[in-house]
Amino acid sequence: MMLDVSVLAGWIERLTGSIEREQEHLTELDAAIGDGDHGANMARGFKAVREKIAQGKSETPADLFKLVAMTLISTVGGASGPLYGTFFLEASKAAGDARALDLASLHTVLAAGLAGVRMRGKAVPGDKTMVDALTPAVDALVGDGDLRKALEAAAVAAADGAEQTRPLVAHKGRASYLGERAIGHKDPGAASSVLLFASLAQEVAELEA
């Protein structure tokens, strides 16, 4: 199976739904070690994305990712908006004029997105941020195996990565102001990054079923 623009739009719609369902949970995580707005930030951003996608037709994966990027950057205040915006903007650039992505090109495109997040936020794995979930997820897409299985592995890797933020002290973002008081809490941005990969894995599993 190839990920064309309609499959990818299905992913973003599914992601929007899961962010809405998880909004309160994301807010609780951010209330513990941040300012309690991560759920609202993500929900506001993706609601706007849904409206934009409904308004016009994207021709290519790159067009769709650019629309997501621009909408997130312009509607989400807070650190996560520009960071997820950068993720989709760099993914858009890497997608070029491809009409559809296979596993190898998906890996290239999402690795470019992650590189953008790391460049912009200057976080490395272990800093207790979204990078801790995104990095193992993108790494799980290496190889030329089955797309559906790779995406399932990526979703599991993201969830493990997010879980592993729990014992960490934060080195970036608001949680870094808390020092050792952040220990024991899962990073909210890592939790929302899990939704990104879980929703893509679900979309592909459902289409292939």
Min dist. Cβ of residue 6 to ligand ADP (A): 29
| Phi, psi of 183, rounded to the nearest 5 degrees | -60, 135
**Per-position DSSP letters for 115-140, written without gaps between them:** HHHHHHH---TTSSSTHHHHHHHHHT
CB count, 10 Å around CB of 129? 31
Contact partner, 201, from Mg ion, ligand ADP, none, Cβ < 5-8 Å per class? none
Min dist. Cβ of residue 98 to ligand ADP (A): 27
CA distances from 209 to 6, 7, 10, 199 (A): 17, 14, 15, 15
Contact partner, 82, from ligand ADP, Mg ion, none, Cβ < 5-8 Å per class? none
Contact partner, 22, from Mg ion, ligand ADP, none, Cβ < 5-8 Å per class? none
Could you tell me if 177 and 19 are in contact, meaning their C-beta atoms sit under 8 angstroms apart? Answer: no
Min dist. Cβ of residue 199 to Mg ion (A): 21
Q: Binding to Mg ion by residue 37, rule CB under 5 A?
A: yes
Nearest to 208 by CA among 140, 151, 156: 151
Contact partner, 49, from Mg ion, ligand ADP, none, Cβ < 5-8 Å per class? none
Min dist. Cβ of residue 41 to ligand ADP (A): 4
Between 35 and 146, whose beta carbon lies closer to ligand ADP? 35
Between 66 and 172, whose beta carbon lies closer to ligand ADP? 172
Nearest to 193 by CA among 163, 168, 150, 166: 163
What does the binding site for ligand ADP look like in residue numbers (CB under 6 A)? 30, 34-35, 37-38, 41, 78-80, 83, 121-123, 129-131, 172-174, 187-190
**Paired tokens of 103:** 């596993």
Between 85 and 121, whose beta carbon lies closer to ligand ADP? 121
Contact partner, 146, from Mg ion, ligand ADP, none, Cβ < 5-8 Å per class? none
In whole angstroms, give the CA distance from residue 191 to residue 22. Answer: 9
